[in-house]
């Protein structure tokens, strides 16, 4: 087996990683929408700050998982499905733009 090909179990694992990343990204988007709707009242402002701190950490971990899923799915290729490989690439760009957009919103607001 050459270093650029994966075995059958690795192809199945790549499919699991891709699906896990896409599910976590959907939860991350939901968390972003929820976080943008939170209003701070009195001491609750500290809770909002902690929420966004945790969200940023989860976003980072999810991004790393997405990069891992992209590399595994690219190696698995057809076994994972070319649509999923492209979907992971698009999802990584969406996640990057989402994070940068929120960073700019925080920086300017």
pLDDT digits over 4-33, tens only?
555 677 777 888 888 899 999 999 999 999
Tell me: the pLDDT tens digits for 26-60?
999 999 999 999 888 776 688 888 999 999 999 99
What are the pLDDT digits (tens) for 79-89? 567 777 888 89
Q: Is position 38 within any domain?
A: no
**Phi and psi torsions of 80, nearest 5°:** -80, -35
Closest to 64 in 3D by CA, of 36, 92, 27, 32: 92
Q: 37 in a domain, yes or no?
A: no
The structure's pTM equals 0.80
Greater model confidence, 106 or 75: 106
- What's the rounded Cα separation, in Å, for the pair 107 and 89? 27
Total number of domains constituting the chain: 1
Please choose, from the candidates 15, 105, 22, the residue with its C-alpha nearest in 3D space to the C-alpha of residue 62.
22
* Residue 24 located in a structural domain: yes
């Amino acid at each position: 087996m050459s270093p650029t090909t994966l075995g059958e179990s690795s192809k199945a694992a790549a499919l699991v990683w891709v699906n896990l990343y896409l599910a976590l990204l959907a939860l991350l988007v939901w968390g972003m929408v929820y976080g943008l709707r939170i209003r701070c009242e009195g001491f609750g402002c500290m809770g909002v700050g902690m929420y966004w701190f945790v969200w940023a950490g989860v976003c980072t971990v999810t991004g790393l998982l997405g990069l891992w899923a992209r590399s595994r799915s690219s190696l698995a290729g057809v076994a994972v499905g070319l649509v999923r490989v492209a979907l992971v690439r698009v999802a990584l760009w969406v996640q990057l733009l989402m994070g940068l957009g929120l960073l700019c919103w925080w920086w300017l607001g």
